Structure 1
Amino acid sequence: MRRGIIRNAAAVTLVTALALSAVACSSSTPPAAGGDAELELWTFLDPNSADDPRGAALKEIVEEYNAQSDGTTVTVRSINYAKIDAEVIKATASGQGPDLLNVYSNQLPMHVAAKTVQPITEYAQPALDALGDDFLFPIDGVTFDGEIMAMPWEIRAWLLWYRADLLEAAGVEVPTTLDEVGEAAAALQKTGVTGLGVGFSNAGLGASFMEKFVPFTWGNGGEILDGGDAVFDDAAGVATMQQFIDWKSQGAFGDEVLSMGADEILNGVKAGTIAMAIEGSFRVAAARSGEGVGDNLQTAPIPSDDAATPLQTPVAGQTLTVGTNATDTDAAWDFIEFYTSATSQEKFAAAGVLPVLSSVYESPAVTALPNADELNSWLDYIRDYGRPNPVSENFSELSDSLVTGAQQVVFQGADPAETLTRVADAYNAQ
């Protein structure tokens, strides 16, 4: 395996006064004579969720902003992560798009192409210049045609999740290689749980499966995209598909994973019906919030064939953008600065989210957290083995097609090479 570093990439990054709108909103209310502005933020996070600590952090940050703001009020509209991008594109086309939009870095190229967000270079560049090396990731990842289009507020990596209590009860050791993952999962499957939760559902456009396919293909020496073209239809991609075939034959998971996406895996880990999974760092806190879970959920770098060297992990993150329909960009940026400040980053760290500011990891508020060591271990994994997650304007469609192909290969016996070639050719023909 090749040791990875965080690289610049053209589409990768890592960033009630609170009211939830039930209908599509209009763009920002123009400032009144007194300078007041009403802004709406569209995000996948739910500030009223009792299960996701990130939602609680969002709520606290927005409430604090509104309390200290001189005339600007931000309200939040929460939309499911699998639907938000399409809703924003549709709303913006009719002039009803949000003032502020949370965009996952994987989806940013699509929003730039759809013109749902506007450049923020004049605001972001001075702030980034002032931050200097304190900002952990290069801004090239959110820069298109020389314009900064988003401000990152979170970093994420993918990890091996395991329920330590379930492994202990089954007498299974924590796996350190991919072969051991299969052996451990097969043993756990015999206890009545899903040994390894792999999302083979098309839910969320197949993102859950793609999150595994990417690092495994890298580990086999391959790539996903090259210059925008799909190139996974080679020996490396076939070897990755064979890994899933072998795990299925070994009994690491059963047909139940065909109905699993990221949400189902999260819920299964919380409920104790899934013993292991490869999931993101950003959802660990939500999984631990389940009754009886807590520290029973542990994480480790994704194993490779070599116990001493983990797989490279895809690195991505959430960002804040200014919507195309926003009219008060000064007010919108003021909120973005507050949202990405060290104080706000500390709140997200407490929710199990990796901050984008290096100094935050050393702040008293973060070093005092019970998960401080874990946050730093995730950051070390990213620094040593992180690679930008491959993305493109149509990456979601590719994920959806690829998981459909994987269903046919792993569960119906389709030929891996032929299936991958068909998916890649269809994508490249777009």
Structure 2
Amino acid sequence: MKRLVSVILVLVLVFSLAACGGNSNGNAESSKTGSEQSSSGSAVAEGSDLTLWIFLNPESQEDPRNVVLKNIVDNYNKNNAMKNTVKVESIHYSKFEAQAIQAAAAGTGPDIINVYTDMLKQHIAGGTIQPMTKYAEEFIPTLEGYTYSADSLKINNEIYSLPWESRTFVFWYRNDIFKEVPTSLSGLSKLAGAQSTALAQGFVIGLSDGSKGASFMESFVPFIRSAGGTLFDDSGKAVFNSDAGVQALDYVKSLVDSKAMDKSTLSLGVDEIIDAFKAGTILSCNAGTQRAAAIRASELNDKIVSAPMLGFKDNEPSPAVVAGQSLGIGKFSKNPEASFDFIKAFFTKESQVDWLKAKVLPALKTVYDDQEVKGMANYDELLTWNEYASKGKVEFYPADYSELSVKLVQAAQNVIFGGKDSKTELDNAANWYNSKNNK
């Protein structure tokens, strides 16, 4: 009998220790997604470990935007009520879509993903991002002066991302070379050709098909709109092979004919053009307002001026092309609510003021009323950009837009340096696109 009692006591002790050990291991191995008990017995939130994929690098101070990002992330990690921790993984913008879509195909990806609005449909098709309509529709009304409405951000009745900036593309020029801004694109071609030298090109549009042909498209789109055309009709059919498209492409060719630019433009993308403009070997160019910080770092800064992008009609700028970097919830986020909680940090007044200081147009127009902002040396220029951008609207291009962009810049190469006909080359590109998409 005593032996039986002893065995029972031993078993009770073993199970008790096992139960305690199980609880201990469970707490030690749990991820930061739940809560633990404090000494008083109340729940203490642990938060979630979140990953942000973005083109900026918070470990670098080369770009002022990197510094703003670092401050936002550091402040969020220190102060957010959910006790979340965000880690940034930087990916170069030219490789971003490919890497994100490749990761999604393997069933992985970040909790928060930065998406350029032009490429949003590509991310949706690639499965890198999930709808966040319920969070966004509740949050947007709290944003005083937000540039975008909920309806303007919807694709198939869903909101996938919130733009935290609003950029447009403008004409940058040297006021020691161009005493006055030309009144039209034709005037620019003649004046820039006259100012070109063996060491400096008067006006340049990059014709490299690298980086998705961004430099060419950033000028071709507003040019075709200035001529009264568009890339696509309402059904999504490519219609850039119109008279307006021909006029826009012929104009780019005229820049070589007038000697405003030369064959070196074949190897130039956006980054190379900005570097050459800063160095003084390009005298004028079109570039996005988000490039201002880099441009203003030039030793020639006191001679650099910006203006709305020129159009085909005298004193009528090309219609503003508006786009923006935006944040969305990654397709494989395990805690969408926590992911959106971080997204909101980009829209505080402090964050938006900091973006403007970094020469980035903020998403909240009310920032321009801030006294600190009004004291900025380039405040008038910022207002000019904002006014120009306010006349445009965000447009979500099709999922294969980057593929089409390369086709179009190759068509331009064939026309400008291969002697091909503009209409024929645009027809070929449009027919390829429409056939590919059953349009």
* TM score, norm. by length of structure 1: 0.88
SS in 2 for 1:229: coil
How far 1:390 sits from its partner (Å)? 6.1
Larger CA Rg, structure 1 vs 2:
2
Does 1:103 find its partner at 2:115?
yes
Q: Find out whether 1:39 has 2:50 as its counterpart.
A: yes
Residue 313 of structure 1 deviates from its aligned partner by 1.6
Q: Map 1:378-389 to 2 at 5 A.
A: 378-384=385-391, 386-389=392-395
Please point out which of 415, 426, 429 is paired with 2:432: 426
CA contact 1:100–1:323 (8 Å) conserved in 2: yes
Identity of aligned residues (%): 38
Q: 1:145 aligns with which of 132, 138, 156?
A: 156
**Partner amino acid, structure 1, of 2:128:** T
Q: What do residues 64-87 of structure 1 show as CA deviations (whole Å, max 9, x unaligned)?
A: 211212421111111111111111
Per the alignment, residue 232 of structure 1 pairs with 240
Tell me, yes or no, if the aligned pair for 2:227 and 2:312 is still in contact at 8 Å: no
The SS at the match of 1:310 is coil
Contact 2:226–2:317 (CA under 8 A) maintained in structure 1: no
Secondary structure of residue in 2 paired with 1:353: coil
Aligned mates of 1:289, 1:329 — CA distance in 2: 39
Q: Relative contact order, CA 8 A, sep 6+: which one is greater?
A: 1
Pairing 1:69–2:80 present: yes
Matches within 5 A, 1:202-213: 202-213=209-220
2:288 counterpart of 1:280: yes
Matched residue SS, 1:60: helix
- Asked whether the 8 Å contact 2:165–2:324 carries over to 1, the reply is yes
- Greater shift after overlay, 391-400 or 365-374? 365-374
For 2:304 and 2:312, the matched residues in 1 are separated by: 23
CA distance in 2, matches of 1:51, 1:187: 35
Extract structure 1 runs of 4+ deviating beyond 6 A.
none
Match of 1:269 among 268, 271, 277: 277
Aligned with residue 361 of structure 1, among 368, 372, 376: 368
**In the alignment, structure 1 residue 174 sits paired with structure 2 residue 196:** no
Matched, 1:243 2:251: yes
Q: Tell me, yes or no, if structure 1 residue 130 matches structure 2 residue 172.
A: no
Counterpart Cα distance in 1 of 2:396 and 2:69:
28
When structure 1 is superposed on structure 2, of 46-55 and 253-262 the one drifting more is 46-55
Displacement of 1:142:
2.6
Aligned to 1:220, which of 223, 227, 237?
Answer: 227
Structure 1 equivalent of residue 313 of structure 2: 306
CA contact (8 A) 1:163 1:269 kept: no
Q: Which amino acid aligns with 1:103?
A: V
The structure-2 alpha-carbon separation of the partners of 1:390 and 1:176, relative to structure 1 and needing over 3 Å to count, comes to: farther
Cα deviation digits, residues 192-251 of structure 1 (max 9, x gap): 212112110011111210111111111111111112111011211111111112111110
Contact 1:287 1:293 in 2 (8 A): no
**Offset from partner CA, 1:142-201 (integer Å, 9 cap, x none):** 312222111110101110011234x16xxx543221122112211231262121121100
1:130 offset after TM fit, Å? 2.5
Aligned length: 395
Quickly say closer, same or farther: Cα 1:404–1:283, change in 2 above 3 A.
Answer: same
Contact 1:42 1:77 in 2 (8 A): yes
Cα deviation for residue 387 of structure 1 reads: 4.2
Classify the secondary structure of the residue corresponding to 1:417: helix
Q: 1:99-143, CA deviations, whole angstroms, 9 ceiling, x for partnerless residues?
A: 1110000010111122211111121111112336x2122233431
Alignment gaps of 5+ in structure 2: 1-30, 36-44
Q: CA RMSD in A?
A: 1.7
Corresponding residue for residue 17 of structure 2: none
Partner of 2:15: none
> In structure 1, what is the Cα distance between the partners aligned to 2:111 and 2:192?
46
For residues 329-350 of structure 1, the C-alpha deviation after alignment (integer angstroms, 9 at most, x for no partner) is 1211111111122211111000
- For the pair 1:49 / 2:49, whether they are aligned, the reply is no
Cα separation, 2, equivalents of 1:82 and 1:91: 16
Q: Which amino acid aligns with 1:59?
A: K
Deviation per CA, 1:275-299, whole angstroms, max 9, x where unpaired?
Answer: 1001111111111113x13333210
Q: Distance in 2 between matches of 1:31 and 1:137?
A: 32
Q: In structure 1, give the amino acid aligned to 2:408.
A: L
What letter is aligned with 1:406?
A: A
Query: Following the alignment from structure 2 to structure 1, what is the Cα–Cα distance between the partners of residues 61 and 202?
Result: 27
Task: Report the alpha carbon displacement of residue 389 of structure 1 after superposing the two structures with TM.
Answer: 4.3
| Conservation of the 8 A alpha-carbon contact between 2:146 and 2:363 | yes
Separation (CA, whole Å) in 2 of partners of 1:224 and 1:408: 19
Check conservation: 1:30, 1:328, Cα contact below 8 A: no
Q: For residue 417 of structure 2, what is the amino acid of its counterpart?
A: F
* AA of the residue aligned to 2:416: V
Give the distance between the partners of 2:163 and 2:413, measured in 1 at CA. Answer: 34
2:174 to 163, 179, 198: 163
- Per mean C-alpha deviation after superposition, the further-off stretch among 319-328 and 300-309 is 300-309
TM-score for the superposition, normalised by structure 2: 0.86
Q: Which moved further from structure 2: 187-196 or 79-88?
A: 187-196
Aligned residue number for residue 188 of structure 1: 195
CA distance in 2, matches of 1:293, 1:43: 30
Deviates more, 1:82-91 or 1:293-302: 293-302
In 2, are the aligned partners of 1:312 and 1:387 still within 8 Å (CA)? no
After superposing the two structures, state which structure 1 stretch, 274-283 or 108-117, moved more.
Answer: 108-117
Q: Say which SS state the counterpart of residue 202 (structure 2) adopts.
A: strand
Q: Which residue is equivalent to 2:323?
A: 316
